[in-house]
Structure 1
Amino acid sequence: MNVPETVFSHEWLLFLSVCESKSLKETAERFNISTSSASRSLKRLEDSVGVTLFDRCSKPMVLTESGKRLYRQVLPAMKITQEAMEQVREENYLFSDLRIGFLESMSLHLAPQFLSTFKKKVGRITCLTGSSDRLLECLRTHDLDIIISSDPALRYTDWRRLMIIREPSVAVFPKAFKFEDNHAKNWQSLSLCNLPFINSYEKSGRGKLVNNFLLTYGIQLNGKINVDNLAIKLAMVVDNNGWTITSPLSLMTHSAFLDKVTLSALPGLGMERKIYLLSRSDFSQELFESIAREICRIYKESVMPTLKKMTPELKDSYFVPDFDEEIN
Structure 2
Amino acid sequence: MQTRSLRTLMRISKVGSFAKAAEQQNMSLSALSMQMKALETELGVDLFDRTVRPPRLTPIGRAIVEASIPLLQHEDSLLEICRPTDTLVGHFRIGFVTTAAVRLLPGFLNNAKHHAPQATFSFETGLSKALQEKVVSGQLDAALVTDAEGVPDALAELVLREEPFVFAAHESLLKDGLGGLLNAQPFFHFMPDTGIGKLIAGEMLKHERPKGSETIVLDNLEAIMECVSAGLGFTLLPAPDVMRYRSDDVKTIRLPQTSARKLVLATVREGALAGREAVLAALFSADETHVASEKD
TM-score bin, normalised by smaller chain: 0.7 to 0.9
- Structure 1 residues 22 and 212: CA distance shift in structure 2, 3 A: farther
Question: Quick check: 1:151–1:205 contact (8 Å CA) kept in 2?
Answer: yes
Q: For residues 200 and 108 of structure 1, do their structure 2 counterparts lie closer, same or farther at Cα, with a shift above 3 Å needed?
A: closer
In structure 2, the partner of 1:326 is: none
* Match 1:310 to one of 279, 284, 292: 292
Listed one character per residue, the Cα deviations across residues 49-97 of structure 1 (whole Å, up to 9, x for unaligned) are 2344445677766545543332222112212212322432316956224
Output the amino acid matched with 1:158: A
Q: How is 1:36-51 mapped onto 2 (pairs within 5 angstroms)?
A: 41-51=35-45
Q: Could you tell me which of 75, 96, 102 is aligned with 1:81?
A: 75
- Displacement of 1:246 in angstroms is 0.5
Q: Does 1:112 align with 2:107?
A: yes
Q: Flag the 1:19–1:90 CA change in 2: closer, same or farther, 3 A.
A: same
Contact 2:166 2:237 in 1 (8 A): yes
SS at match of 2:90: coil
Structure 2: 5+ residue stretches without partners: none
8 Å contact from structure 1 (residues 132, 204) kept in 2 = yes
Q: How does 1:192-271 map to 2 (within 5 A)?
A: 192=183, 194-211=184-201, 222-254=213-245, 257=247, 259-267=248-256, 271=259
Closer/same/farther in 2, CA of residues 158 and 106 from structure 1, 3 Å limit: same
Instruction: Figure out how many residues of one structure are paired with residues of the other and give that number.
Output: 290
Equivalent-residue separation in structure 1 for 2:158 and 2:20 (angstroms): 29
**CA offsets, 1:266-306, max 9 Å, x none?**
356x65312110234522223212233564xx46xx54xx4
Task: Please state how far the C-alpha of 1:170 moved relative to its aligned partner.
Answer: 1.1
Report if the CA contact (8 A) 2:157-2:267 is conserved.
yes
Q: TM-score, normalised by structure 1?
A: 0.67
Q: What is residue 272 of structure 1 aligned with on the other side?
A: 260
Contact preservation (8 Å) 2:132, 2:151: no
Q: Percent identity?
A: 21
Structure 2 CA distance for aligned equivalents of residues 267 and 92 of structure 1:
42
Contact 1:106 1:249 in 2 (8 A): no
Tell me which moved more, 82-91 or 212-221.
Answer: 212-221
Task: Give the one of 66, 88, 92 matched to 1:72.
Answer: 66
Equivalent residue, structure 2, for 1:287: 276
**Maintained 8 Å contact 1:199/1:223:** no
Aligned mates of 1:52, 1:106 — CA distance in 2? 42
C-alpha deviation, 1:236, in angstroms: 1.4
TM-score (norm 2): 0.73
Query: What is the SS of the residue equivalent to 1:310?
Result: coil
Distance 1:12 1:261 in 2: 55
Change (3 A) 1:51 1:143: closer
Alignment-derived partner of residue 146 in structure 2: 150
* Contact 1:174–1:243 (CA under 8 A) maintained in structure 2: yes
Matched, 1:173 2:169: yes
1:207-251 per-residue CA deviation (whole Å, 9 max, x = no partner) reads 233245557999777335322332322221122111111101223
Q: State the one-letter code of the partner of 1:243.
A: F
User: Structure 1 residues 112, 264: CA separation in 2 closer, same or farther (over 3 Å shift)?
Assistant: same
1:217 to 1:177, Cα distance in 2 relative to 1, 3 A: closer
Judge which range, 62-71 or 242-251, deviates more.
Answer: 62-71
- Aligned-partner Cα distance in 2 for 1:171–1:75: 50
Contact 2:6 2:68 in 1 (8 A): no
Whether the 8 Å contact between 2:86 and 2:279 is mirrored in structure 1 is no
Residue 8 (str. 1) matches residue 3 (str. 2): yes
Report which of the two has the higher share of strand.
2
Question: Which residue type is aligned with residue 284 of structure 1?
Answer: L
Partners of 2:80 and 2:104 in 1: CA distance: 31
C-alpha contact (below 8 Å) 1:109/1:253 kept by paired residues: no
CA distance in 2 between partners of 1:37 and 1:107 (Å): 32
What secondary structure, in the 3-state scheme, does the structure 2 residue paired with 1:241 have? coil
